[in-house]
Amino acid sequence: MSSVYDLLPANGIPPAHIHRDVPMSTCTTFRIGGPADCLVDISSVNELQTVLAFIRTHGLPFIVIGNGSNLLVRDGGIRGVVIRLSSLFSSISEAAQFTPSRSSGSFIRADAGVSLSALAQFAATHGLDGLAPLSGIPGTLGGAVLMNAGAYGGEIGELISEVSAVSTETGELVTFPGHQLTFSYRNSSFMSMPHIITSATLFLSPGDPDRIRARMQELSVQRREKQPLSLPSAGSTFKRPQGAFAAKLIDDCGLRGFRIGQAQISEKHCGFIVNLGNATAAEILTLIDYVRDVVFKQTGFTLEPEIRIVGENTTRPGGNAL
């Protein structure tokens, strides 16, 4: 059955970048989620602007994803278009034209789809420090800037010099100086702006490449020892409540290892909900609600999900044709 999505190639989008009825379980680190009507891999700003124009013309719903590392897609999947900025949109360069003296630091510019691990490796190779704490986060730069990702005392918002983004309303490419943006715990100005982040420029301090890599390796070992990296998850499930730590609250409530179906509070780190193999989004969401209820009743703290939850609870009758 033909649909509006069949018109995308005629609008200048390479057919190889267009995917129909994509199981979102293949696009998220949770390995959970029903099918998306249409997923488009973006390889350039122009391509993104073209897709957004198509979406506006046809009145289609859409969401934007990167590596799917902080995402839970409901079992009914996603209606409309999933715009994915990942490996096809991931160039990195040292922004020499903006670089001050080597003694004070340097700028690097990267597309939104570059992985934080690749960005950190690039910086280390060029003797630039500041990204080591973020090097083990399995997400992309765009998602990291959007939610001000952080770990081990560092947040990406502290490094931002400027961010470029495309308006979803007009298609215009706009560059925002860092001082005009607000970053807070797991939040940024972009959370409430109708823009899609396309690139960011970061200012990093000079450092010894060997020492930077050693620090990255040290933090990698810590993650493997403390986090359930062998099982699918979306990272930390809950935000840190003021005055407490989510993982400790959950553990103190006796929920370590508690499970609903194939969804489980990690036995290794209570801040993670893991997929034991065939978990459904419904099981994950039921477990999230249960944990929040127990923690509130026992401690008075309200846990807020850190993960992004999208999609439909049930598949729409009649298939995907629009």
Q: Which residues are marked as active site?
A: 186, 236, 306
| Cα 108 to the center of its chain, rounded Å | 20
Taking Cα atoms as reference points, which of 47, 42, 110 lies closest to residue 82? 42
Closest CA to 308 of 139, 56, 60: 139
Whether 35 and 47 have beta carbons less than 8 Å apart is answered as no
What do you get for the CA distance between the two ends of the chain, in Å?
10
62 in Cβ contact with 299 (< 8 Å)? no
Q: What residues contact residue 194 under an 8 Å CB cut-off, 6+ apart?
A: 167, 168, 169
Backbone torsions φ then ψ of 290, nearest 5 degrees: -65, -45
CB of 205 closer than 8 Å to CB of 128: yes
Selection from 288, 197, 189, 181 nearest residue 234 by Cα: 288
Kindly write down the DSSP assignment for every residue of 11-77, as one continuous string: GT--GGGEEEEEEGGGSSTT----EEEEEEE--SHHHHHHHHHHHHHHT--EEEESS-TTEEE-TTB
Measure CA 120 to chain center: 16
Q: Coil, strand or helix: which one is 184?
A: strand
For 211, the enclosing helix (H) or strand (E) is helix 209-226
User: How many CA atoms within 13 Å lie on the side-chain side of 248?
Assistant: 7
